[in-house]
Amino acid sequence: MSTSETTSSSQSIANPAAIPGTSLVLLTGASGYIGGRLLPSLESQGYRLRCLARRPEILTPKVSPSTEVVAGDVLDRASLDNALRGVDVAYYMVHSMSSTGSFEETDRQAARNFSEAAKAAGVKGLIYVGGLGSDEEELSTHLRSRHEVGDILRQSGLPVCEFRASAVIGSGSASFELVRALVERLPIMLTPKWVKGKAQPIGIDDLLDYLIEALQIPLSKYRIYEVGGADQVSYAEMMRAYGRQRGLKPLIIPVPVLTPWLSALWLGLITPVYARIGRSIIESIVHVTVVRDNAALTTFSVRPMGIDEAIHRALAREERHFSETRWSNALSSSGTQRSWGGVRFGTRIVDSRTLTVEAPADVVFRCIERIGGDHGWYACNWLWRVRGFIDLLQGGVGMGRGRPSSTTLRVGDTVDSFRVEAIEPNRRLRLKSEMNLPGRAWLEFEVTEEGSSTKIRQTAIFDPVGLKGQLYWYSLYVPHEFVFNGMLRGIAQAALREMRDLVMPQIQNGQTATQHRR
């Protein structure tokens, strides 16, 4: 072989992203759990980064000034051309597990669109995270779809580095939040056989190391890599490992009668993982998801940690990481990826009410911004829980997702069954419902300062679909009166309490100063 031929061959297999800053890397799924953790890691290492987002306004505030955010949707083939232009390597971190309808067909079409567009744009390689599980057995719908997506990406003819992983352990991940909620809330658990299935959970830090190092290895080494932590454990053993670090000893009693549907509904009531996600997890857990091929250990420098260290890190970094990215932050976790195009809505229904409170606007807005999560909804919390349970039965998100921060909100954050659609500090908060509804619903709060007082306007908006939607809204007329009136009064009372807490120390300090002068 001549020198020129050798050089050409070397260039054909070299990774164009091997040196940070010299090539352009595209990241999809940056609003999701793994993608959201990968984003700052790539930024800190100096990679030229572009992110694809269906709603750029949600992602843009979370990226560094050097990172480009472009609008695009993997289900809209034409929107991908601009996003992939000039890209050398692309991370494909997209899945529709929690969407309504057939997520298999959605994932299939998304992968086909992306791989075709990447090929046409001259992308050199793709990096993808799938799921562990042997192709020789009948896999769950979720795992089968994860494998199929990898196959579709490879059909483009591009080199694909596919990491097949089991449960991911990190604060905010679906698997970790499931384990944590069960152990923290249930000292005694009646569990079906799925808790005995063997898995090889991987710490989020190790998975991120694999993903970043994939930019360093030659494209000729792109293939399927099975990755996992140092330990092979069952979910029951994972729960006991979590319990050891929290000083808890859960009593796990296996029972043979819980179907995947009942188990998923049970998880939706007990844990933040709602029914649709829970069912996909359970159906996958029953399969053995352990590493059978150790090629990753010879190709990459990563030496994965064990389950105890992974849980320890997740707990130690929980406050910072949990507020940064969670599995439920992904727009796909809403389960509302249905298109409203062509749907004829009825007359928009608006329920607006106001209340004036003797407090500044910033104090009132702080109380509004704390709504949901552990803080609750200021009134009739039991009714919210009942409504969440009904939504779980219908395959919806329920009320268990909570919120990423206990005091502040950003566009895109989840607030139980809602998502923040717009926020203007000390002025306006608009939440969009992601429950399974016969229409579209929003809840909006506006504050207007009027001298020493503040007027709160609370508005519930509903776009019903046909007669069913209108019947739904009017059937809830009486509960809404209790909920909406009580919520408005609760916010006002909270603002008054906060004012008293601010003023009383000042009065007491003034009285003390007067006594000293005397």
pLDDT of 319: 53
pLDDT of 506: 54
Dist. CA 333–CA 298, nearest whole Å = 35
Q: Are 170 and 178 in contact (CB under 8 A)?
A: no
Among 471, 464, 466, 436, smallest CA distance to 338 is for: 436
Domain parsing of the chain, residue ranges: 16-333, 339-504
- Confidence label for 260 from pLDDT (cuts 50, 70 and 90): low
Residue-wise pLDDT for 118-172, tens only, equals: 999 999 999 999 988 877 767 677 788 889 999 999 999 999 999 999 889 998 7
pLDDT of 335: 46
pLDDT of 443: 93
- At the fourth CATH level, which superfamily is domain 16-333? NAD(P)-binding Rossmann-like Domain (3.40.50.720)
pLDDT of 97: 54
Dist. CA 450–CA 361, nearest whole Å = 9
Q: 339-504 belongs to which CATH class?
A: alpha beta
User: H helices of 274-343, where?
Assistant: 275-285, 295-299, 307-316, 318-324
Whole-Å CA distances, 509 to 360, 503, 516: 22, 10, 11
pLDDT of 134: 77
User: H helices of 250-401, where?
Assistant: 260-270, 275-285, 295-299, 307-316, 318-324, 361-369, 381-393
Dist. CA 492–CA 363, nearest whole Å = 10
For residue 208, what are its two tokens? 């991120």
Dist. CA 72–CA 79, nearest whole Å = 5
pLDDT of 343: 47
Alpha carbon of residue 265 to chain centroid: 19
Q: 């306006």: which residue's tokens?
A: 428
Q: Are 276 and 101 in contact (CB under 8 A)?
A: no
Is the pLDDT at 98 greater than 60, yes or no?
A: no
pLDDT of 180: 80
Residue-wise pLDDT for 504-515, tens only, equals: 655 555 555 445
Task: Compute the average pLDDT of residues 241-261.
Answer: 78
pLDDT of 342: 46
Return mean pLDDT, the chain.
82
- Confidence label for 276 from pLDDT (cuts 50, 70 and 90): low
pLDDT of 13: 63
pLDDT of 363: 93
Minimum mean pLDDT range among 233-237, 420-424, 464-468: 464-468
User: Could you tell me what percent of the chain has a pLDDT over 70?
Assistant: 80
- Confidence label for 254 from pLDDT (cuts 50, 70 and 90): confident
Instruction: Detail the DSSP E strand segments found in 89-147.
Output: 89-92, 125-131
- Confidence label for 8 from pLDDT (cuts 50, 70 and 90): very low
